Amino acid sequence: MVAGSGDCSEGEKETDMKVPASEDIKEQGDAGMDVSAADALSPSEGPPEEAREPRKWKWAVIFLCFYGFMSSIRPGEPFITPYLLSYEKNFTREQVTNEITPVLTYSYMAVLVPAFLLTDLLRYKPVLIIQGVSQVIIWIILLLGSTLIQMQFMEFFYGITMACRVAYSSYIFSLVSPVLYQRVAGYSRSSVLLGVFTSSVLGQLCMSLGNISFYTLNAISLGFVSFGLLLSMCLPWPKRSLFFNRTQTQEQKQVAATEATESELDKMNPKASVTPAATPTCSSKRWKDSVIVEMLLEVRNVVKRPNLRLWSLWWVFNSTGYYLVLFYVHILWNKVYPATDNKKVYNGGVEAASTLLSAITSFMAGYVKIRWNLWSELVIGVITALQAGLLLLMYTTDNIWVCYISYVLFRGFYQFLVPIATFQIASSLTKELCALVFGINTFLGTILKSIINLIFIDKRGLALDVHSQFQVYFIYFSILTVVYFVCAAVVIIRHYRSRSREGAGSCEQPLPTELSPVAVSSEAEPLSNGASVKA
């Protein structure tokens, strides 16, 4: 069960059994949306309505950010694991570890792709409503459910909730003109982080000072998620989206232009007729020129670019280990310190601290100046090694405070690299292709999580206890560390050998790359499928 909900990042559980919502936003591609105005809708699509009605879009953004804040307030979320293991529910640690929690990963994997497609096809709002309904169902089951199968259904709906979070991260870009993308992305992310922090602090205060039961705390959470569902129904309905609706608009314009041309030709030559073969040819061409097919073809080129390949692989492999730790760390805490007094359960406070540190490290990453084309592998290797060390501490210590601090630092290190990975991927791609790449990375990571779950955690596999699981996570991060260091050595040696061949005076020293929005180049590098990517 993971802590708090909310670190996209984008995110993704920025939750107790779940990942904090801010995390989900990141994982599910809000990062992919957070790109420069160069990726905007083309001028041919006409002036944005936001320019004509500035007051209207400002209120829409404010309302959406308020919704993001309120939907992130679930004070009972950091305490779901203790609740299931308490006398109020009385599930065993083995049931929670090996039978209940794994359902979350399987559910998320099954729903992620349909949610990604439906979000754009239905224009965001219906998916946010589905998310709100799922959250209400989760807390109703937590309050009224008492059997193992009911708790597994609770995790199933939690997977739906996580998958639907992509709708919030991309919704805000449909409300404003492209020049405002970067600013409103910051607003939406900040509102979610603030909501997660507030939720964790509120939950901890209720438990430590309010002397209330887990049941009462979850009843309060049900009230908040019900209010969030009501807010989602009041959201404005966007007129466009990233893929499907934009494509339909372009096709409609093409069809209209074709009909107009044909009409003029008919006037000039009434006897002319359209051949039967014209329709299938047009249909075939329209299919080949569709945005989705064009981007899928271009993914092959992304794999060939070393920098994009490195950070995409980091996103897949490191996020897999990161979220597995988040899903099961609360069970570890309960085993290290099985507190019988609710006042001594500090899950909410730890989640609040880790969310705050994550926000700070994400902010700091924006000011790091490094030659990423040379040092990326080394930086990733060092941070992955530190995370492996923290995991070693977590599963070997008997001190709950050491466990808490290790977890806070573990999350902070990961969140430091998230905006760097986002920048490295997004700065080289169009907005649509960027969203697709992040979606594919997230889906591959989810598949890997499911495989690890099935082998090591699920009762149908090895069904390891939580300490053994964290030992597996330590080995996993250690292997990644070795791979990154080997790759770093190869890149650095190759760089300096190449430099020595060219001679010290024949090459200019490259300037450090700053993690900040890059200037938009008017030139575009043509790609194999006829599309273009920012040079």
Instruction: Give pLDDT, residue 53.
Output: 55
- CATH match for 301-503 among 3.40.50.720, 3.30.70.1290, 1.20.1250.20, 3.40.50.261: 1.20.1250.20
Average pLDDT of span 95-100: 94
What does the DSSP assignment read for 308-343? HHHHHHHHHHHHHHHHHHHHHHHHHHHHH---SSGG
In tens, the pLDDT along 384-410 reads 999 999 999 999 999 999 999 999 999
- Compute the mean pLDDT over every residue in the chain, rounded to the nearest whole number: 78
Looking at 44-53, 425-434, 497-506, which range is the least confident one? 44-53
Is 498 a residue whose pLDDT tops 80?
Answer: yes
Residue ranges covered by each domain of the chain:
56-244, 301-503
pLDDT band at 432 (very low <50, low <70, confident <90, very high): low
pLDDT at position 506: 52
| Contact criterion met (CB below 8 Å) for 294 and 433 | no
Q: What is the pLDDT of residue 523?
A: 38
DSSP H/E element including 524: strand 524-526
d(CA 535, CA 533): 6
pLDDT tier at 193 (50, 70, 90 boundaries)?
A: confident
**The domain made up of 56-244 is a member of CATH 1.20.1250.20:** yes
Q: Is the pLDDT of residue 411 over 90?
A: yes
* 33 pLDDT above the threshold of 50: no
Unique residue bearing structure tokens 């590098």: 525
Q: What is the DSSP string of 440-506?
A: HHHHHHHHHHHHHIIIIISTTTT---HHHHHHHHHHHHHHHHHHHHHHHHHHHHHHHHHHHHH-TTS
What is the tens place of the pLDDT at every residue in 277-286? 444 445 555 5
Whether the pLDDT of residue 216 is over 90: the answer is yes
pLDDT for 34 equals 44
Instruction: Say yes or no to pLDDT of 319 above 50.
Output: yes
pTM comes to: 0.78
**pLDDT value of position 504:** 53
CATH topology identical between 56-244 and 301-503 = yes
Percent pLDDT > 70 in the chain is: 71
10 within 8 A of 169, measured Cβ to Cβ = yes
- State yes or no: pLDDT of 264 exceeds 70: no
CA distance 132 to 150: 19
From the list 127, 142, 149, the residue with the least C-alpha distance to 222 is: 142
| pLDDT class of 251 with cuts at 50, 70, 90 | very low
Q: Look at residue 331 and tell me whether its pLDDT is greater than 90.
A: yes
Band of pLDDT at residue 165, cut at 50, 70 and 90: confident
For residue 168, the model assigns a pLDDT of 85
d(CA 456, CA 472): 8
Note the pLDDT tens digit of each residue in 114-143.
988 888 788 888 999 999 999 999 999 999
pLDDT at position 23 is 54
| Beta-sheet pairing, 513-514 with 524-526 | unpaired
Query: Is a pLDDT exceeding 50 seen at residue 26?
Result: no
> Measuring CA to CA, which residue among 167, 209, 156 is closest to residue 192?
167
What average pLDDT score do residues 427-449 get?
A: 83
Report CA-CA distances (Å) from 188 to 3, 51, 303.
Answer: 20, 20, 30
Distance CA 189, CA 195 (A): 10
Does the pLDDT value for residue 37 go beyond 80? Answer: no
pLDDT value for 383: 96
